[in-house]
Structure 1
Amino acid sequence: MNAEFIEALLEIEKEKGISKDVIFDALESALISSYKKNFGSSQNVEVEIDKVTGKVGVYANKTVVEDVENEYLEISLDDAKHIDNKYQIDDIAKVEITPKNFGRIAAQTAKQVVIQRIKDAEREVIYDEFINRENEIITGMIQRISKNNVYIDLGKTEAVLPPTEQIEGEEYEQGDRLKLFILEVKKTTKGPQIVLSRSHPGLVKRLFELEVPEINDGIVDIYAISREAGSRTKIAVHSKDPNVDPLGACVGFKGSRVKAIVDELNGEKIDIVIWSKNIAEFIANSLSPSKVLKVEVNEKEKSALVVVPDYQLSLAIGKEGQNARLAAKLTNWKIDIKCESQYEGEI
């Protein structure tokens, strides 16, 4: 190895963000293995690389003794003094044993180590970057589709959108750009695996944070979200500032903010409801867009009986019970819905 190699390492450090010291450490370990493989492994050896010239030296660590019994592990005091006059009995002397043709072996080993360390370090950099971004939103482009898995190009790496995290009925085509939720980042033998989601409620939350400055600034809070991806989402919000209308902030001027989110989710319906400390009021709000006449709560069982106008019963329950189901998930209460005539007939 030579000074050009050192320059190459400096370039790698600058471009890839991989410390040259990390490569040197790995290279020294690999060169020790190469030496033992080619020249025998009975000696206690270490390798030193001059970080300026690139010169490689192999040294045997030998204990300084009066009488040498094992020449691979011991050195006489006289011989040690020839290396350095300061050596005393029981010191560890460093004896250079660099073979003549070790430079060629070192160059081959260096190439392999550098390639592998670059791969490892790039994987580590990607893992470190994305592990801190779990539960965040990211924009990526569909690179390919294989066995129902959608592979997303994130620039530095590729991530996967598995079938379980896709929106039912949503079509994915190569080259499409999507906003996605970073669900999980895992270390694997092949490098970091980044699992994305389009169906997670967290995606809706992050989209609202992007579109609504009041949410991003912490003035308006998202209390809860319930979602049936591709069909409908309910989101409960409340304002910390009495002068800020949380519903108006989320909807935006002429519905512009919520429309941007609906468009991103390909027409998924979004109900924005006001959260309230008063659970009866919150449950009534959660059944939007249906009107609610009365809410009777059972705190002990966390259940509620909701009375709605006769003509709004089907709206309150929703198609295949969706509205009631999402409201129950949003409030975390069991909700029983009755129309006014049913309720009065039971009184």
Structure 2
Amino acid sequence: MSKQLIQALDVLEEEKGISKEVLIDAIEAALISAYRRHFGQAQNVKVVFDPKKGECHIYAMKEIIPDDETVFDSQLEIHQSDIFEYAKNATERRKFMHYEVGDEFPVEITPDNFGRIAAQTAKQVILQRVREAEREIIYNEFSEYEKEILQGTVERQDSRYVYVNLGKIEAVLSQKEQMPNEVYKPHEKIKVYVSNVESTTRGPQVFVSRSHPNLVKRLFENEVPEIFDGSVEIMSIAREAGDRSKIAVRSKNENIDPVGTMVGPRGQRVQTVVNELHGENMDIIEYSDDKATYICNALNPAKVLEVVEDEINHKCIVIVPTDQLSLAIGKGGQNARLAARLTGQKIDIKSEDEWEAMKDDFFAAQEAAKEEKEAIEELGETATSIDDLLQNMEITSLEEE
């Protein structure tokens, strides 16, 4: 050990952010391991490291026993009077006088040839502890960014992942989390949503996404101050990444238009998000606690005439003008699909003509189902009453006996 080691510890603490105390503990553990490996398996070994001089001393910690007792193991025990043999001067002798029976007394056992082998072993363990400490620091740092967005640089890609440099770590963007309309080029800067941070045997692993609905949410939070201060709230997002998203918003302040606030002056706010997502369309609608109103808003831009609840099949039938049926359903069913995800409701869209042809049978079936349900409930109540009556009769008969 030398002053060069102390300088190295200072550099590691400053540049890597690893506490010097952590590294000193690693050095002491390494030297104990090296001693036991090469000079015996003493269980009472202690290492004392001087962080000022860079010097290290190994001690056998021996229990002090009375002089009139027998020392059974000289590696573990020492007579009280014998400790003064290790005093190098009067000062140490006075210091040793404070030791009492039962205390542990340090006897230095640093071997003369401890040198190179111990240093190599110590170096390996130190490097391992440094790597572990770095991994822990990185993991703790990026755990704080979980569920947030970060800007990174595309490094490279293979058949499974796009690798994004986030500064201290390289995150992975899987094919599932990529946007189908994007091509990721090396050195390109992109914003990603940190979906998960894991601590693995190979170090921290950061998983990011470009397709997660919350990426849209975080991008709007960065652009709309009213979301940050709570004036506007994003209630739900349904997204088909790279193509279209629907966002439901509301405001508890009657003087604030939540949709207009999200869009921004001349559409600047929403356009910034659209540009970041390479042209993904954004439908911003107003949330409502009323189910029918919410579904009507969600199917925008189609006009909805009526929303009827189908209690038999647990879904909502949405009636639209016949000439707007295709608009309500959307290309490949996208508009209806996103509206269903946004509202959390099963939606069956019917044209006005289809509804006219089926509504009588529909309401008749609903009424029949309602009557059947009421009959079953009434029968259940009757059965319960009969059961109670029989139980009471049994109790009465037993009491009479």
SS at match of 1:207: helix
Q: 1:304 — aligned with what? A: 316
Shift of 1:236: 0.3
2:187 aligned to 135, 152, 175, which one?
A: 175
Q: 1:96 — aligned with what? A: 108
Kindly tell me: are residues 43 and 244 of structure 1, through their superposed partners in 2, closer, same or farther at Cα, counting changes over 3 Å?
closer
Q: In the TM superposition, what whole-angstrom CA distance separates every residue of 1:270-292 from its partner, at most 9, and x where no partner exists?
A: 11110011111100000011111
Q: 1:75 — aligned with what? A: 78
Considering fraction of residues, name the structure with more helix: 2
SS at match of 2:8: helix
- Equivalent runs, 1:132-171 vs 2, <5 Å: 132-171=144-183
Shift of 1:87: 3.1
SS at match of 2:150: strand
Q: 2:133 — aligned with what? A: 121
Shift of 1:169: 3.6
Match status 1:217 vs 2:229: yes
Q: 1:205 — aligned with what? A: 217
Distance in 2 separating the partners of 1:42 and 1:166: 57
Q: Is the 8 A contact 1:43 1:72 kept in 2?
A: no
Q: Is the 8 A contact 2:309 2:317 kept in 1?
A: yes
Distance in 2 separating the partners of 1:89 and 1:115: 40
Please tell me whether Structure 1 or Structure 2 has the larger radius of gyration of its CA atoms. Answer: 2
Q: 1:63 — aligned with what? A: 63
Shift of 1:31: 0.5
Distance in 1 separating the partners of 2:246 and 2:35: 66
SS at match of 2:176: helix
Q: 1:87 — aligned with what? A: 99
Kindly tell me: are residues 237 and 300 of structure 1, through their superposed partners in 2, closer, same or farther at Cα, counting changes over 3 Å?
farther
Q: 2:344 — aligned with what? A: 332
Gaps of 5+ in 1: none
Letter in 1 for 2:234: I
Aligned length: 347
Deviates more, 1:298-307 or 1:7-16: 298-307
SS at match of 2:260: helix
SS at match of 2:357: helix
Q: Is the 8 A contact 2:193 2:208 kept in 1?
A: yes
Distance in 1 separating the partners of 2:49 and 2:123: 15
Distance in 1 separating the partners of 2:83 and 2:246: 80
Shift of 1:234: 0.7
Distance in 1 separating the partners of 2:150 and 2:43: 53
Shift of 1:43: 4.8
Q: In the TM superposition, what whole-angstrom CA distance separates every residue of 1:124-164 from its partner, at most 9, and x where no partner exists?
A: 11100111111101111110102231000001110000112
Match status 1:52 vs 2:73: no
Letter in 1 for 2:326: S
Q: 2:202 — aligned with what? A: 190
Q: Is the 8 A contact 2:35 2:118 kept in 1?
A: no
Q: 1:268 — aligned with what? A: 280
After TM superposition, the score normalised by the length of structure 1 is 0.95
Q: 2:5 — aligned with what? A: 5
After TM superposition, the score normalised by the length of structure 2 is 0.83
Kindly tell me: are residues 231 and 43 of structure 1, through their superposed partners in 2, closer, same or farther at Cα, counting changes over 3 Å?
closer
Q: 1:29 — aligned with what? A: 29
After the TM superposition, list the runs of 4 or more consecutive aligned residues in structure 1 that deviate by more than 6 angstroms: none
Q: Is the 8 A contact 2:329 2:349 kept in 1?
A: yes
Letter in 1 for 2:57: G
Q: Is the 8 A contact 1:237 1:246 kept in 2?
A: yes
Distance in 1 separating the partners of 2:312 and 2:220: 34
SS at match of 2:269: helix
Considering fraction of residues, name the structure with more strand: 1
Q: 2:381 — aligned with what? A: none
Q: 1:289 — aligned with what? A: 301
Gaps of 5+ in 2: 87-95, 360-401
Shift of 1:91: 2.4
Deviates more, 1:321-330 or 1:261-270: 261-270
Q: Is the 8 A contact 2:30 2:126 kept in 1?
A: no
SS at match of 1:224: strand
Deviates more, 1:80-89 or 1:209-218: 80-89
SS at match of 1:155: coil
Letter in 2 for 1:13: E
Distance in 2 separating the partners of 1:299 and 1:184: 39
Shift of 1:106: 4.7
Kindly tell me: are residues 203 and 236 of structure 1, through their superposed partners in 2, closer, same or farther at Cα, counting changes over 3 Å?
same
Shift of 1:302: 5.1
Deviates more, 1:61-70 or 1:109-118: 109-118
SS at match of 2:82: helix
Q: In the TM superposition, what whole-angstrom CA distance separates every residue of 1:281-335 from its partner, at most 9, and x where no partner exists?
A: 1000000111111112357965211111111100100111111111011101111
Q: In the TM superposition, what whole-angstrom CA distance separates every residue of 1:188-214 from its partner, at most 9, and x where no partner exists?
A: 111100000111111111111111111
Distance in 2 separating the partners of 1:43 and 1:204: 59
Letter in 2 for 1:38: H
Letter in 1 for 2:143: I
Letter in 2 for 1:77: Q
Distance in 1 separating the partners of 2:277 and 2:298: 21
SS at match of 2:30: helix
